[in-house]
Chains A and B, each alone.
Chain A
Amino acid sequence: MPPLRLNCYWINFRTFQTDNAMNLKLKNATGYLMVTPYLIHFSIFIAFPILFSLFLMFHRWNIISPMEFIGLKNFYRLIHDNYFWRSIVNTLVFLMIHVPLQIITALFFAELLNQKIRLRGFFRAAFFLPVVVSGVVVTMLWEQLYGFETGLLNRMLTTLGVDKIGWLISPRMAMPSIAFMATWKNVGLYIILFLVGLQSVPAHYYEAAEIEGANHWQKFRHITLPSINPTIFMVVILSTVGGFSLFIEPYIMTGGGPLNSTLSAVLYIYKQGFFYYHMGYAATLGFFFAVLILLVVFLQKRFIERDTEG
């Protein structure tokens, strides 16, 4: 093996014409060699699973006994599966609380951080802390804060003379509680994203508006909001896709209850697949849910783009 030429990093930048025919052919081969591991990995772990799930959807199979062709029965079952539709509705409820709350909270704190203040780095780091911690930790922690009898939140409410809230035990409150927790966990990331967006708005826009006599709200509505529209779009898409993968929070906190009010779609697919071993049906659910996600993201994109133009 020839020794590595460590010094080739230090030579001067000079332009060489190296693209003769011989060299191009060589580079061709190297290029293929370098993407081959990716293509193999892609074929095994992505392309094959997608094709296989299309095949699985027409079968009943628990992995152990032989596969049984059942035609469209999985689709028929899906259409009449109240749990599945319930899980979709639950996931949408989660998103309808989580996404707007996320944007409002993140914008609020980003605006505060964008003022001339000391210790900006310190506050930024504090807001960001829940983002890096595992969702498992956050969920176990909030399970205690949400506790009915001795949870910290209800104790505070009692001190204030307000009735206790059944954060996780009331079917109406459980999903909003989880959505609030998820917002608390992720908002630090979006604060920073918005802060970057806010800092890129040219200062003379605001100065011009001030000369015209615009107040705070007018400046926010007519300068800030339009300028950070791309960031808002990004945050909407990221938190939507993130929300659609809601799993570990209800898995730990509620197991999908009370009365299936926190049964998320991924949790339901997990139960069908790895609790009941209905592989064919779980694959069908996964496929439909993925199509739904792509549809929602596509619609959001269309809606926001139209809104920007108008």
Chain B
Amino acid sequence: MIKKLVIYIFLILGGLLFVYPFFWMISASLAPESELSELTFLPSIISGQSYRQVIEKIPIIRSFLNSLFVSLSITAGVLIFGSMVGYALSRLQFRGRQLVFYVIIFTMTLPFQITLIPQYILMVKFAWVDTFLSLIVPYLMNAFAIIMFRQYFMSIPKDLIDAARMDGCNELQILYRILWPNSVPALITVGIITFMASWNEVLWPLIVIRNESLMTMPQVVTLFAVGGRAESQLGAKLASATMLAIPIVLAYVFFQRYFIQSMTTTGMKE
């Protein structure tokens, strides 16, 4: 009985350790600037002043739409292309298939630090700097997604595919009309991981986007925090951070099970 109690005490302390800082952040973003240095729980009055400052000073709404467009495009591309390559690697016979598989495994172990500089130069030469192309196209193929789909498709009975083929489906129809409806867990997993990773990506946008109206949300918030425009106003900084957190936290609240499952089956974080 005492053992149980100790376990619960530790769990509750742990829960507070991970959740309380976020609670403090939201509370501080709603507090008047004068109360921030003493705030521990709730402010005496709720003030939207910090949020007004953020909206006035940086194009945060615009950057939200940019991020949404970029992340959704990448996710759609990764699902469409990733499943296509995964299908070819798992269910179609062709010479060199094994080689392609090894190439994909190789890219998974390759540290990104090696391609960072030359990829940027490529963007300059393509004249893709300050366009969404530079944010989207390099991410359209994803080794991890291909491998996930390959593994998943191998678990789908071969008879299903053969039957569809006899019935006159071509390979693309087999993939998108027959395998997709049977692969919802894989689609959700890859979709969530991809969306989250691209939503939270900040190093690459910092490099290739300089035009403020094209910046992604984490980028705008980062530059707000680092640059002088927050004028060291803590409230405004925390309000911008809260706004950045809200979309993904909302998604997490609704799809919590899927988030945890997806990330633990793959061991991936952003």
A binds B: yes
Binding site for B on A (CB under 8 A): 4-9, 11-16, 18, 24, 27-28, 30-32, 34-35, 37-39, 41-42, 44-46, 48-50, 52-53, 56, 63, 109, 112-113, 115, 117, 122-137, 140-145, 149-150, 152, 155, 184, 186, 188-189, 192-193, 196, 234, 238, 241-242, 244-245, 247-248, 251-252, 255, 265-266, 269-270, 273-274, 279, 282-283, 286-287, 289-290, 293-294
Write 16 A-B pairs (CB below 8 A) sorted by A numbering: A4-B177, A13-B159, A38-B146, A45-B119, A45-B137, A48-B118, A49-B114, A124-B260, A131-B263, A134-B200, A136-B241, A152-B24, A184-B18, A238-B267, A244-B113, A287-B114
Interface pair B159/A31, CB less than 8 Å apart: no
Closest 3 CB pairs of A and B: A31-B94, A49-B118, A31-B92
A293 with B111, Cβ < 8 A, contacts A4-B173, A141-B21 known: yes
Residues of B within 8 A of A140 (CB): 221, 225, 237-238, 240-241
* Least distance between B195 CB and chain A CB atoms (Å): 11
Does chain A have a CB within 8 A of B61?
no
Give, as a whole number of angstroms, the nearest-CB distance from A29 to chain B: 8
User: When the two chains form their complex, are residues B24 and A286 in contact, meaning their CB atoms are under 8 A apart?
Assistant: no
Complex alpha-carbon distance, A7 and B167, angstroms: 9
User: Given the complex, which residues of B lie within 8 Å of A129, measured CB to CB?
Assistant: 18-19, 22, 249, 252
Give chain A nearest CB distance to B244 CB in angstroms.
5
Number of residues from B at the complex interface, CB < 8 A: 102
Cβ–Cβ contact A270 & B203, under 8 A:
yes
Residues of B within 8 A of A283 (CB): 117-118
Give residues 105-158 of B contacting A (CB, 8 Å).
107, 109-122, 124, 137-138, 140-141, 146, 157
**Alpha-carbon distance A144/B239, docked complex (angstroms):** 13
Across the interface, name the chain A residue whose C-beta is closest to B163.
A11
Within 8 Å by CB of A142, from B21, B166, B206, lies B21
Contact call B167/A11, Cβ cutoff below 8 A: yes
Give complex CA distance A252, B19 in Å: 22
Given contacts A11-B167, A188-B18, A294-B111, 16 further A-B contacts (CB under 8 A): A8-B168, A8-B173, A9-B178, A9-B181, A35-B88, A37-B85, A41-B140, A56-B117, A130-B18, A132-B249, A140-B237, A141-B21, A141-B238, A189-B267, A252-B222, A290-B113
B100 CB within 8 Å of chain A: yes
| Least distance between A30 CB and chain B CB atoms (Å) | 4
Asked if B68 is an interface residue, CB under 8 A from chain A, the answer is: no
Interface pick from B4-12, B49-57, B183-191: B4-12
Q: Are A35 and B260 in contact (CB under 8 A)?
A: no
Contacts of A34 in B (CB 8 A): 84-85, 87-88, 92, 171
Cross-chain contact A46 with B202 (CB below 8 angstroms): no
Give A27 to B259 CA distance when docked, in angstroms.
36
**B249 close to A289 (CB less than 8 A):** no
**Closest Cβ of chain B: how far from A139's Cβ, in Å?**
8
Contacts of B160-175 to chain A: CB distance below 8 A? 160, 162-171, 173
User: Are A15 and B88 within 8 A (Cβ)?
Assistant: no
> Which residues of the other chain, B, contact A12 by a CB distance below 8 angstroms?
163
B25 on interface, CB distance cutoff 8 Å? yes
B215 close to chain A: CB less than 8 A? no
Does B270 sit within 8 A of A, measured CB to CB?
yes
